Structure 1
Amino acid sequence: MTPPIPNSDSLENIIRRRRLNNFKQKVTSSNAVRKMGAYKYIGELYKKKQSDVLRFLLRVRCWEYRQLNVIHRASRPSRPDKARRLGYKAKQGYVVYRIRVRRGNRKKPVPKGATYGKPVRQGVNHLKFQRGLRSTAEERVGKRCGNLRVLNSYWVNQDGVYKYYEVILVDPNHKAIRRDPRINWIVAPVHKRREARGLTSIGKQNRGLGKGHRYNHTPARSTWKKHNTLSLRRYR
């Protein structure tokens, strides 16, 4: 006897079930790939600073920062994702300081606006500083904490008068830092006051330095001057 031929309905049902199972497997595998950690979510939040959540959070934090000193130590980074991307570790030897810097242009410190010079040099109010506010923040924190080394910094908040930054510092005398091969390069004396010499990330940006073929001769005037000037220093 020949075996009975199954119904077309049952065949269609079997095919549907198999397709459905394959689809479920694809969905579960794609979801497993797209999982994000907590820092990813925080980073995505900070990309939308005009959202209701961030606007409320930044407004409350800004009020808190205004009540504190100009330079103060933070118990922990207010943006842990950003701090970790810039080198911060939650271990001994790492410190975070928060600072506020007054926004806007610089005013020439002359009495009663009298510059005692030529008319072309009589500007007082609309003078632009060569470096940004973040670089200024790093320098002021480094001056306050002379025994620490400035690693990096990042923006945390701003209002109509001030910008607020958090600066990551490292203790070069701590054993946890000196024994860590990933960070003990900063222990060398050549890295003292690196923020005041334009060697941090924002310092290099302000100097016009970068990587790639577009940054070989920037800025052009200083490059020409460096290549065409003979400097005979007393101690060289």
Structure 2
Amino acid sequence: MSRSAVNRTILAVTGLALLVGGLAVLAGGLDLYNRLDVTMPHGWPLTETYQPVLSDAERHHWSDRDWWWPVAIAVPALVVAGALWWLYTQLRRTGPGTVTVPVPDGDGTALRLRTRALADAVETEAVALPDVEKVSVTVTGTARRPSVRAALRLVPGGGVGEVVDALDAGPLENARGSLGLDALPAELRLKVSARRRRAGPKPPRVV
């Protein structure tokens, strides 16, 4: 799952939980259950205007157990630590947002290319190489000295050396030429798929 998909999932789940909790608090605070003559299930929280979220009995129900206070402290601590870690991953940038593209005869003028567009271009060319099943590319480094981190999944029996040579002579060489770079460092991570690619339809027999 990509980083953007994880972010959307976390935000959607968090937003839904906050929405449901807020509506429950609002309904209890405005006494909507009594006004609408709605009977909620037994144990439903906040059914009256001045009802606390947790009653005295609920707050002290497990307090005499040895595991209660460690759990009551550890769970919120883990939630806060997870939220801080997620915030850190959002603020930490693994690479430049754009890379510099020189303009021929532009008297030093340069354009800015989004690194996502560069990564997509390399992925599109790399996945078309023989024996390559899936490719994921990330641009790291700096705007003027970018580097590439690629993860390739090969079909069973694929030639690793041939794929590396084809990747360097094809997508990476095209990226170097487009960016006007003499060198584009690349970190490759290769993995062989456990599934065999389905064979195509057999050609018709000629009688």
After TM superposition, the score normalised by the length of structure 2 is: 0.30
After TM superposition, the score normalised by the length of structure 1 is: 0.27
Q: Which has the higher contact order (CA 8 A, sep 6+)?
A: 1
